[in-house]
Amino acid sequence: MGVTLDLSRATARPLAPVKPNLCGLTRAELAAALVAADVVPLAKAKMRATQLWRWIHHYGVTDFERMTDVAKETRAALAEAFSLTRPEIVERQVSKDGTRKYLIRLGPRIEVETVYIPDVGRAGALCVSSQVGCTLNCTFCHTGTQALVRNLTASEIVAQVQVARDDLEEWPSPKEDRRLTNIVFMGMGEPLYNLDNVAASIDIISDNEGIAISRRRITVSTSGVVPQLHDLGENSQAMLAISLHATNDTLRDVLVPLNKKYPLADLMAGIRAYPGLSNARRVTFEYVMLKGVNDTPAEAKALVQLLKGIPAKINLIPFNPWPGTEYECSSWSTIEAFAAILNKGGYASPIRTPRGRDILAACGQLRSESEKLRASARRKVAVPLIDG
Ligand code: SAH
Ligand code: SF4
């Protein structure tokens, strides 16, 4: 579980009391909050929550005054008790290839990145963060080197989707011709260390009377928190992605130290038991290509063996170097040779293509320190490959 640092205490000036933001509440929580704040009597709570839900999640309004079918006094009472405001976007960059990167400020010195990548999934995918930083210290990942770690609230996760939709002008929620069709939890953080908020955000994002992104188009990527896998499947029905990166415990212990706690045999058993697995709902295995570390033909063959019997697809991710790392990306020919062995073994194994180079957008290695981002001008980026 992430360590929470309350930076608000570090500021000298007292902060204004924060009104609860309604955007991160599930339907049931929304109804309960209206009653608890004495804005709506119990008998009318469900009806009023349904009404508000459409304004918030279908129309994307950020101002109670725009809720024209809600009585004036109720609108005032709502505004008094709650907020609908979006977090501040500190930076927005659009790449020539259509990739959009948002640096979103959630609090003093707390920033996360969210990246929209066109032509991924059905039409376009949003890579969202689940934590600020990450406690897991995978040796090839920059996020793990950040000192500050805290879980994002459901509201902060939903806000990433709302911000992207504001920018893509996708309100009210379109039925067809959407630009944002898929969500991948492949930004900063380990989603299964923040499962309650991740599951609540998925409930909200997938609700048919709101943002309405189908659960089959929402993918949660984990480094392998085995005890939470079942709950993720049961509570969210999200698609599963596993950051594998190695086919034996000796190497995986180094690359993904969490492996020492949940070794490969346990991880594979947990994956096989993931609720709802089928050929139509396959697990994605992510495998970062590290030169001279995990990229031999023997390892490709071992990977085919390891995944036997699991409805799976494999994403080969070219390693994205960051300042100070000792790893290098495998050569293109090595990656292609690796992919060919996987293909022969019966697995589609697309190689993630670099996108958004001109704005340094990245998915899977996001970080909050924008100055450092700007400094590392030569970083390559890779985006997830996911089915529609
Ligand atoms: N913590 C989760 C989700 C975020 S990371 C997880 O580990 O699955 C999303 C993906 O990006 C993971 O597969 C991760 O291993 C990969 N990744 C992290 N750093 C990377 C880098 N520098 N280059 C390429 N892929 C990286
Ligand atoms: Fe955390 Fe995922 Fe990075 Fe590992 S790869 S440090 S789990 S964000």
Handedness of CA 221, 224, 230, 235 (dihedral sign): negative
Quote the pLDDT of residue 379: 33
Percent of all residues in the chain with a pLDDT value above 70, rounded to a whole number: 86
Handedness of CA 322, 126, 262, 294 (dihedral sign): negative
Q: Which DSSP helix (H) or strand (E) runs through 106? A: strand 100-107
Residue 43 has pLDDT above 80, yes or no: yes
Whether residue 172 has a cis bond before it, omega within 30° of 0: yes
Residue 140 has pLDDT above 60, yes or no: yes
Confidence of residue 384 (pLDDT cuts 50, 70, 90): low
Confidence of residue 374 (pLDDT cuts 50, 70, 90): very low
**Residues belonging to the active site:** 113, 363
Q: Which residues line ligand 2 (CB under 6 A)?
A: 134, 136-138, 141, 143-144, 189-190, 223, 243
Quote the pLDDT of residue 356: 60
Instruction: Please identify, by atom number, the ligand 2 atom nearest to the C-alpha of residue 143.
Output: 3
CA of residue 11 to ligand 2 center, whole Å: 30
CATH number for 22-81 (one of 1.10.8, 1.10.287, 2.10.25, 1.10.150): it is 1.10.150
CA-angle at 176, arms to 175 and 177, nearest 5°: 140
Quote the pLDDT of residue 284: 95
Looking at all shown ligands, the one closest to residue 244's CA atom is 1
Check: pTM over 0.85? Answer yes or no.
yes
Quote the pLDDT of residue 17: 66
Mean pLDDT computed over every residue of the chain:
87
At 183-239, the pLDDT tens digits run 999 999 999 999 999 999 999 999 999 999 999 999 999 999 999 999 999 999 999
Looking at all shown ligands, the one closest to residue 325's CA atom is 1
Instruction: Please identify, by atom number, the ligand 2 atom nearest to the C-alpha of residue 131.
Output: 8
Quote the pLDDT of residue 354: 62
Residue 371 has pLDDT above 60, yes or no: no
Whether 112 contacts 369, CB under 8 Å: no
At 284-339, the pLDDT tens digits run 999 999 999 999 999 999 999 999 999 999 999 999 888 889 999 999 999 999 99
At 239-277, the pLDDT tens digits run 999 999 999 999 999 999 999 999 999 999 999 999 999
CA of residue 110 to ligand 1 center, whole Å: 20
Of 157, 113, 127, the C-alpha closest to 23 is: 157
CA dihedral 119, 245, 238, 214 (to 10 degrees): 0
Q: What dotted CATH number matches 88-374?
A: 3.20.20.70
Q: Which DSSP helix (H) or strand (E) runs through 73? A: helix 72-81
Quote the pLDDT of residue 1: 37
Domain chopping of the chain, boundaries: 22-81, 88-374
CA of residue 125 to ligand 1 center, whole Å: 16
Instruction: Give the residues across from 283 on adjacent strands.
Output: 312
Distances (CA, A) of 57 to 10, 54, 159: 34, 5, 11
Instruction: Please identify, by atom number, the ligand 2 atom nearest to the C-alpha of residue 221.
Output: 2
